[in-house]
Amino acid sequence: MALRDADAAASFPAEWQAHASWDGDKGEIVTGPIPGTPLIDFRDILIKFGYDPELVEIVGKVSQWKKERPDGSWLTSYFFGVAAKQEHYDLPALYAAAKARPRAPLAPSSNQRATVAVFADPQIGKTGRRGGTPELIDRMAEKREKLEVVLKQRKPSQTALFDAGDGFEGFNSGGNPYFTNDLSLSQQIDCYSTELYLFIGVMQRHGPVDVGAVTSNHTAWRNGKQQLGRPSDDLGLLTHRMVKKQADAAGIDAAWHLPAEYDESIAVDMLGTVVGMVHGNQFGPGQAISWWEKQTFGAQAVTQADVLVTGHYHTFGSGVAGRNPATGRQRMWLGAPTLDNGSDWYRQTAGRDSDPGMLVFDITPDGFDLQSLTIL
């Protein structure tokens, strides 16, 4: 640089003389006077000041201070901030790469599918604002028609009818007022067994049937609120044993799953997925998952279940209940809606009511099929 050029450079303010700073993540560079045309590529400047252009980038606005040289050209000092490079993604390139990446072909459908229908809380013999036994029988016929349509659409390889309890009302449920039923106890059991047989008949036309049943508070052998005998003495379970004899005699391909003598819950393996069931009077409102957690810790019947079905509370509910260490699958609790004529005493005291319905869902070799969940 000629003497006059040196003089021009020296006349730059101190803050525009060459210097750099860095705190590990960010810094700044002042280039000092540079002759020639304005710079566009600053990579060489970064290297000159000891920065790797692959790791450090210019951020913000580039400022400059100019001084004219005697020949009419200019000396320019540049100021800019620098910072450690953040990882930037070229989204179009990423999508193109993902689309081009070879993937394992989807396995063809094995057509293995188990459709489960939950028969919950009809409390046959009970009267309410939705009527009595004639209305209930009509409602049951409607549910069977809808179930038939669903089964024809889904074409399951096997089916299941899960009776979540309270199949009939009884006379020792502790309700207020007493004795508002329109059927005697023997008539209630007769109607209950008929309904079970009719639902099993619908399901067996679409594959072999697994029938599950559990004890419940309305069908228990009781004296007032006092339960008598063992859990297995439940009159609802007795009804199932009678229906099984009828189904066996008719050649229906059905298998029954009942609790052990002193148990109140069951677990049924369906296509490698264990579906558990308990009525729900064993725990308070909103405590199904907490009860399940304790049962698992205690190595009870539902310990290995991926799905837990409950009744008793007459409203649909669902929730995720952690992960099954045995299968690695997400556990799911399903609370079934009621089929009954309505709980007017509860509506009067709590102000809440729910529509009747039948819960239906599928199990595949991959586990519980959330997309299949519906209420008829």
What are the tens digits of pLDDT across the range 238-296? 999 999 999 999 999 999 999 999 999 999 999 999 999 999 999 999 999 999 998 98
Please check the confidence at residue 37 and state whether its pLDDT lies above 60. yes
pLDDT given for residue 353 in this prediction: 64
Q: How many CB atoms lie within 10 A of CB 75?
A: 20
Q: Assess whether 230 and 123 both reside in one domain.
A: yes
Please check the confidence at residue 322 and state whether its pLDDT lies above 80. yes
**Mean pLDDT to the nearest integer, 205-234:** 90
Q: Assess whether 77 and 173 both reside in one domain.
A: no
Long-range contacts of 56-61 (CB under 8 A, 24+ apart): 56/82, 56/83, 56/84, 56/85, 57/82, 57/83, 57/85, 58/82, 59/26, 59/83
Beta bridge partners of 361: 116
Which helix (H) or strand (E) segment is 256 a member of?
Answer: strand 254-257
pLDDT given for residue 179 in this prediction: 61
- Cα–Cα distance measured from residue 92 to residue 80, given in angstroms and rounded to the nearest whole number: 30
pLDDT given for residue 286 in this prediction: 92
* DSSP-H helix ranges across 25-81: 43-48
Domain count of the chain?
Answer: 2
Structural domain containing residue 135: 114-375
- Cα–Cα distance measured from residue 327 to residue 249, given in angstroms and rounded to the nearest whole number: 38
Q: Assess whether 19 and 156 both reside in one domain.
A: no
Q: Assess whether 241 and 290 both reside in one domain.
A: yes
**Mean pLDDT to the nearest integer, 182-201:** 91
Query: Is 105 within a domain?
Result: no
Please check the confidence at residue 195 and state whether its pLDDT lies above 70. yes
Query: Is 101 within a domain?
Result: no
- From its phi and psi, is residue 148 left (phi > 0), alpha (psi between -120 and 50) or beta? alpha
pLDDT given for residue 3 in this prediction: 46
Q: Assess whether 53 and 122 both reside in one domain.
A: no
